Structure 1
Amino acid sequence: MTGFLTETPSVFQEKAPAQLREHAAAALTRARRRSTTLTDAVGDEDLVRQHSKLMSPLVWDLAHIGSQEELWLVRDVGGREPLRPDIDDLYDAFQHPRADRPSLPLLGPAEARRYVGEVRAKAFEVLEHAPLEGRRLTESAFAFGMITQHEQQHDETMLATHQLRRGEPVLHAPAAPGARGGPLPAEVLVPGGPFLMGTSVEPWALDNERPAHEKHVDAFFIDTTPVTNGEFIEFLESGGYDQRQWWSERGWEYRMAHDITAPRFWRRESRGWWRTRFGADERVPADQPVVHVSFYEAEAYAAWAGKRLPTEAEWEKAARFDPATGRSRRYPWGDEEPAPEHANLGQAHLSPAAAGAYPAGASALGVHQLIGDVWEWTSTDFHGYPGFAAFPYREYSEVFFGPEYKVLRGGSFGTDAAAIRGTFRNWDFPVRRQIFSGFRCARDGDGV
């Protein structure tokens, strides 16, 4: 690697086994507390109902969480006898598309809750005694971190299901904060040159984040904050959804075929733009990042604005690169774990926060809100890094590589801190809008 390019050493390197076990137990407990909140918020009828063909019934997600935990922690790491081998196929996401899951003989709400409780008790027994070295799956408690992230990812999926659910609000949280400090510049210059992308030392990083590798990026400008609702409304009211020139061929076909005329959950009224958010109707707040837009809508807005979407490498350089040291940080603000002053994460609020709400979370280059608030579309197809190796199973990442999926970065207000970092990669079909997706724009540095 060139010169002084480095990444932060693992924060786990100095943790004793007892500290690792305590850390893993706390992460698992936080995830389960959230799963319980999301499933206890509604009655059994809502748990078993499919609120959208795009999503599973909430009760499927809950039992699937337990099934994965049993497979990896109880059976593999712990070497214990299976609790429910008869349901393995039912909760294999690759065997049953979401649209078909309501027709399966799923565990009912009471049985699913009992099952995940029994699995968790066994998993804690395994955590207490499993060696945390000598095997890659258990080194630095990786398997427990993987399962924590899996549960939190399904918690975010369940949160998206709640957004699709019809009925009175059942989830509640404090309002997201407003902007803090003075006005921010519209964009930031990111210098050209190499940086270290990905990671080889982050202990709970997943296979598609590895390995660390040198990546050259030409100089470019990137928006200081994600595109806001107010900015997006300008695109809407200028006729952006009706003007073919802003859309790619596939984007225009998608927009026309599905009569897409605004971000999902928005509607135009005589009083302006309104949206439905977790069962509540409210005026669209102009200062918050736009959410529930597809890749194609983001791409069209960027073209209208005379810009483009950033590549994945550009996004990560803006987030991690420290020009003073050449080091790639774990997070935009530094190496410490996310705290409430850094980012809007973990369902602490049920919406994005205002642009400029987290000055303490800015990157070394001065880019804000790269973590939390909204997943950000990039222009990059999902693929493995040079030297990629599937671990511990191909179905986590490798089977999704290809041009069908676009990479999203940064997490959302519904992403837990355990399931996001500067190297974390998400991916989805470019048509997806039920996810908590937004974007920011970039443009070439024009020889800077």
Structure 2
Amino acid sequence: MSDFKERIAAELTAARNRSMAYTDAEDDLLVRQHSPLMSPLVWDLAHVGNYEELWVLRQVGGITPLRPEIDDLYDAFKHPRADRPSLPILEPVEARRYIEGVRGRVLDVLDTVDPHDPDPLRRYGFVFGLVIQHEHQHDETMLATLQLSGRPDLVRDGDLPPGGPPGSGEVFVPAGPFMMGTDTQPWAYDNERPAHRLDLPGYWIDRLPVGNRAYADFIEDGGYDDPRWWAPDGLRWLQRSRAFAPLFWTRDGDTWWRTRFGRTEPVPMDEPVQHVCWYEADAYARWAGRRLPTEAEWEKACGWDAEAGRARTYPWGEDTPGPGTANLGHRAARPAPLGAFPSGASPCGAEQMIGDVWEWTGSWFLPHPGFRSFPYREYSEVFFGSRYRVLRGGSWASDPSVVRTTFRNWDRPERRQIFSGFRCARSASPEHSSEHSPRRSPGRSARRSPERPAEHPPERG
């Protein structure tokens, strides 16, 4: 087997090992629905196998369907997550047997693939990248489900580097053009394509994600009780949800606590805040006299190398993520301390843009100019519009296969069971077009009256 095929086989195995680890539990945990927002774990397990069968075995391999009668059960667009426990889905033992049978045949198809095949599904192993990324995305979804279930054996503290000195609160991104999206990444999804030129004015963006300590200051100052900081839709969400802090936070006296996979512990104030929805991120930014970065601003700050005139695959360059550059792949079941990865900084000096927490942006999920669906509309196209907000950068639970600077995630603005956080930005005034200025502390003097805008989690297959 060539190096190309060996690498794909290894990545297929890594994704499957992860899926099996998250479903190595009593049947009751796997078949139960822990939240109407999430599927039973056993549904996700069989779904990744069915997706693999549909795309690799049938579309590329031309193999007769193994279990055509289950296609409807595992079609994510036919059955909302809340309804899936009532479906006649495969039991855990049968689901494991099914996905094992699919995988054996998938490796046979891999032997027939030529990376230079003109078929776009075969070329560079695209279809295998499709199923590898898809499985890792469901693995992260399963982790979110397991967090809701309180399964304690998934708590990994990991060997994360310590946080760094506070340093500059924000970095400046000069005005000018950059190339957004990609035409060169062989496994990039359709929504990342095509690359296109954008010209942005100068702006400031936080060097680091917003941390728990800063977010606690927002709470202490009555951020959840002051309607000035909430957009109309956000205020309605706040009234319905009765939220008072990030999901999984509780308070005892002067101490904030969080529950992490069934373990209750003090909230580490030096970590990025996570489990906040878009409305919470937007309210915090208003309170701090800031705003959320647009998706284009986020991508430019993450990967654009103005000196070289090109976009980087990762903030630090072309080397694949490692333990010194980002916190990924469930290395630890938590974000790393703020400032833990200075060697992972982007050209503009922003840090921790990859891994730790997905970062909400101010943008709706819309197509790039010249977008074309491939290989199916339901991965991206059906989600475009003013229903889903874009998240970027990946989390501690994301696999490195989905954390390139162009990768786009999206979710409803009220969702916070996902591993989501944010950083803030602000537009540059003309006199600050080429110099840095210190960030104001998010206290009373930094605030201003906000300008209010006008007025089920997505699944990728």
Normalising by the residue count of structure 1, what TM-score does the alignment of the two structures yield?
A: 0.94
Match of 1:32 in 2: 16
Secondary structure of residue in 2 paired with 1:391: coil
Amino acid of the structure 2 residue aligned with 1:446 = S
CA contact (8 A) 1:176 1:352 kept: no
CA contact (8 A) 2:164 2:338 kept: no
| 264-273 or 293-302, which deviates more | 264-273
Match of 1:348 in 2: 331
Match of 1:9 in 2: none
CA contact (8 A) 2:277 2:416 kept: yes
Amino acid of the structure 1 residue aligned with 2:21 = T
Where in structure 2 are the equivalents of 1:37-436 lying within 5 Å?
37-40=21-24, 42-132=25-115, 133-166=117-150, 169-175=152-158, 177-436=160-419
Partners of 2:49 and 2:347 in 1: CA distance: 40
CA contact (8 A) 2:357 2:393 kept: yes
Displacement, 1:244?
0.5
What do residues 21-65 of structure 1 show as CA deviations (whole Å, max 9, x unaligned)?
11211111110111011001x211100000000000000000000
Secondary structure of residue in 1 paired with 2:297: helix
CA contact (8 A) 2:355 2:398 kept: yes
CA contact (8 A) 1:197 1:423 kept: yes
Amino acid of the structure 2 residue aligned with 1:46 = L
| 337-346 or 204-213, which deviates more | 337-346
Tell me how many residue pairs correspond in the alignment: 430
Partners of 1:345 and 1:134 in 2: CA distance: 33
Secondary structure of residue in 1 paired with 2:46: helix
Match of 1:8 in 2: none
| 399-408 or 337-346, which deviates more | 337-346
Partners of 2:7 and 2:390 in 1: CA distance: 29
Partners of 1:267 and 1:182 in 2: CA distance: 28
Amino acid of the structure 2 residue aligned with 1:26 = A
Displacement, 1:268?
0.9
CA contact (8 A) 1:228 1:287 kept: yes
Displacement, 1:19?
2.3
Displacement, 1:178?
4.5
Partners of 2:140 and 2:16 in 1: CA distance: 12
What do residues 410-431 of structure 1 show as CA deviations (whole Å, max 9, x unaligned)?
0000000012210000000000
CA contact (8 A) 2:333 2:397 kept: yes
CA contact (8 A) 1:176 1:353 kept: no
| 334-343 or 397-406, which deviates more | 334-343
Partners of 2:302 and 2:146 in 1: CA distance: 30
Secondary structure of residue in 1 paired with 2:355: coil
Where in structure 2 are the equivalents of 1:436-447 lying within 5 Å?
436-447=419-430
Partners of 2:67 and 2:417 in 1: CA distance: 32
Query: Quick one: percent identity of the two aligned structures?
Result: 57
Secondary structure of residue in 1 paired with 2:146: helix
CA contact (8 A) 2:163 2:270 kept: no
Displacement, 1:20?
1.9
Q: Which runs of 5+ in 1 are unaligned?
A: 1-16
What do residues 216-252 of structure 1 show as CA deviations (whole Å, max 9, x unaligned)?
1110000000000000000000000000101101101
Amino acid of the structure 2 residue aligned with 1:418 = S
Partners of 2:11 and 2:138 in 1: CA distance: 15
Q: Which runs of 5+ in 2 are unaligned?
A: 434-461
Partners of 2:178 and 2:253 in 1: CA distance: 50
Secondary structure of residue in 1 paired with 2:139: helix
Partners of 1:311 and 1:149 in 2: CA distance: 25
Displacement, 1:184?
2.3
